[in-house]
Amino acid sequence: MGSPSEFGSNTANPLGRALPIFGHKVAVEDYLIEKSATNPSFTYTAIRNGPFLDWGLKVGFILNYRAEKTPIYDSGDQLFSTTSLSSISTAVVNVLTHFEETKNKGVYIEDLKISQNKLLELAKKVAPEKKWEIVKMDIKALKEGLDEKFAKGEGTMDLLFEYLKPGIFGEGYGAAFERVDNGLLGVEGKTEEYVEELWRGVLGGGGGK
């Protein structure tokens, strides 16, 4: 059984699949599809879970609380699926116990669908003393700038990492999964109260700067 390095955005979506940061993932999955088609004893499962929820908050990725100005992409209301590391671990274990149901396909899990504006609302609820300065960012303009640099041969990890943002916050990338396999894979999901607890751990009593 093969297990490609997925654990991220919706690379089955044509727009997401075309993002340069996913080039190697797409190549690996294409190879596994080919191998499973020609060798019945070889199987694979790709787990797609969106951005990591707990890690993404702690490092300031899905909402950058560390920056002097916190970027909000487009309207900030775009929903995206996101999953905690513990739920991903649960799904991995249950893939192994649901071999027939999960072989040779991509499976989708999420703890919840949420937006940047909702994350900000919950952060303000937890730490009302923290001062937030917001800067609106245009995802289309961001991607066009990245594409221009990439076409010139700039392929640094920092630049490639920026390509995650269109895949999560951009329209049309399938970031809010239409269907999920939570029931099959034992993922119970999380509530906004869980997100509040994460924010308490991140922002603390002082609420940061």
All residues at 6 or more sequence positions from 62 whose CB lies less than 8 Å from its CB, including other chains: 51, 53, 56, 82, 116, 119, 168
User: Can you give the pTM of this predicted structure?
Assistant: 0.91
5 belongs to a structural domain:
no
| CA 11/CA 167 separation, integer angstroms | 9
9 belongs to a structural domain:
no
* Overall domain count for the chain: 1
67 belongs to a structural domain:
yes
User: Residue type at 203?
Assistant: L
205 belongs to a structural domain:
no
CATH at residue 192 = 3.90.25.10
pLDDT digit of tens for each residue in the chain (209 aa)? 545 667 888 999 999 999 999 988 899 999 999 999 999 899 999 999 999 999 999 999 999 999 999 999 999 999 999 999 999 999 999 999 999 999 999 999 999 999 999 999 999 999 999 999 999 999 999 999 999 999 999 989 999 999 999 999 999 999 999 999 999 999 999 999 999 999 999 998 544 44
Tell me the residue range of the domain where 153 lies: 14-200
207 belongs to a structural domain:
no
133 belongs to a structural domain:
yes
3 belongs to a structural domain:
no
108 with 180: CB under 8 angstroms? yes
| CA 110/CA 24 separation, integer angstroms | 23
Q: Which of 11, 185, 24, 13 is nearest to 110 (CA)?
A: 185
